[in-house]
Amino acid sequence: MNLEIIKVKQGSKLRNAIKAMDKGGIGIVFVVDNNDRVKGLITNGDFRRKVLQGISLDVKVDDVMNINFFSVKTNESEKQIINIFLSQRIDKLPVIENGNLKDILNRGDFKLEGKIKLPEVTLDIPVVIMAGGKGTRMKPFTNILPKPLIPIGERSMLEVIMDEYIKFGFDDFYLTINYKGNLIKAYFEDAKSKYNLTYIEENKFLGTAGALKLLQINKQTPIFVSNCDILIKEDYLSILDFHRKGKYDLTLVAAMFNHQIPYGVCKIKNGGELDEFSEKPEYDYLVNSGMYILNSSVLDLIPTNEFFHITQLMEAIRENGGRVGVYPVSEKSWIDVGQWKEYEKAYQNLG
């Protein structure tokens, strides 16, 4: 790959590092000095921890970069490289010679046991995909086919989502269906589905959480819940670990969203006097991605056979003394296929 796109200069803002990380697409960015020598690095995990601490993205990369990281030289032995991968939970290993970044080694390119992308055991944790909506944002396409069957290359969107979960060892899928639900069932029957599917059929539209009340689970377990038109490119085991360690009742996966106003912004005082002027300011938000983890115990807070949104469930959890966590991911980790413009991007990237 072009290593230049994952470099940022010392003194740059953290926001610029996140943009470079998104552009590079490998979850890491290197901080270099004016002589192109590596002074530190910032990973996806570093970015997430800083966001959770409430740090501004205007802070300089020098203040947040990791200066203690593993690297190898160009003449490093394969044995030593393998030993580093086996002893450290890292997926990328930079090759640095005389301070300059020469290459990046990927964990998956070496024959190692326990690759996180292909876990040896499946995890007995349900994954609920909310597939019962009308897909009004994708009309007129959804006048004929249900949104979950939108094609992404050779697969439907549902298959793309489930395949991502399978990579991390989850294979127990529940599909909530309503609008054109029979087409969804027929599709997987005709395709001789490889998926372990259970259907939850709504007799009426129950919102983004109401159908979860119909879930028949007799054990205390976390449950992944996802909209049928979004994909999160992230380590799902890390999300689960965050949820458990934080002792949350529900964890919301939130994507960083950057918005720049294309005009100068004025703030006034005293009835019309200019107080402050900002030229094309940028704002950063954490927005709901449509992916969650919730404990099965919170299903008791959902009313039976009533329209009920996930936001109402979050309010009910907090009102009852429970805790809601937020797991941040970068903007490019979130793919929203529920609108035409984003669908075109997803088709190119995932098709």
Note the pLDDT tens digit of each residue in 86-105: 777 788 899 999 999 999 99
What band does 207 get if pLDDT is binned at 50, 70 and 90? confident
Residue 308 has pLDDT above 90, yes or no: yes
Domain 3-109, CATH 3.10.580.10 — does that match? yes
What band does 119 get if pLDDT is binned at 50, 70 and 90? very low
pLDDT at 14: 92
Between 179 and 326, name the one with better pLDDT.
326
By the 8 A CB rule, do 176 and 130 touch? yes
- Residues 206-214: what's their mean pLDDT? 89
- Residues 143-159: what's their mean pLDDT? 78
349 CA to centre of own chain: 15
- Residues 265-286: what's their mean pLDDT? 88
Residue 292 has pLDDT above 50, yes or no: yes
- Residues 216-243: what's their mean pLDDT? 89
Phi/psi for 315 (5° steps) reads -65, -40
CA-to-CA separations, 14 to 56, 59, 63, in angstroms, rounded:
8, 6, 9
What band does 134 get if pLDDT is binned at 50, 70 and 90? low
What band does 174 get if pLDDT is binned at 50, 70 and 90? very high
Residue 195 has pLDDT above 50, yes or no: yes
Write the class of the CATH domain 123-350: alpha beta
Question: Could you tell me the two tokens for 14?
Answer: 């953290």
Range(s) for CATH 3.10.580.10 in the chain? 3-109
Question: Could you tell me the two tokens for 200?
Answer: 């939850």
pLDDT at 120: 42
User: How far is residue 63's CA from residue 253's CA, in Å, rounded to a whole number?
Assistant: 26
- Could you say which DSSP state residue 219 is in? S
Please count the other Cβ atoms lying within 10 Å of the Cβ belonging to residue 315.
13
Q: What percent of the chain has pLDDT over 70?
A: 88
41-86 confidence digits (pLDDT tens): 999 888 888 888 888 889 999 999 999 899 999 888 777 787 787 7
By the 8 A CB rule, do 10 and 31 touch? yes
Residue 190 has pLDDT above 80, yes or no: no
Question: Could you tell me the two tokens for 317?
Answer: 């959890």
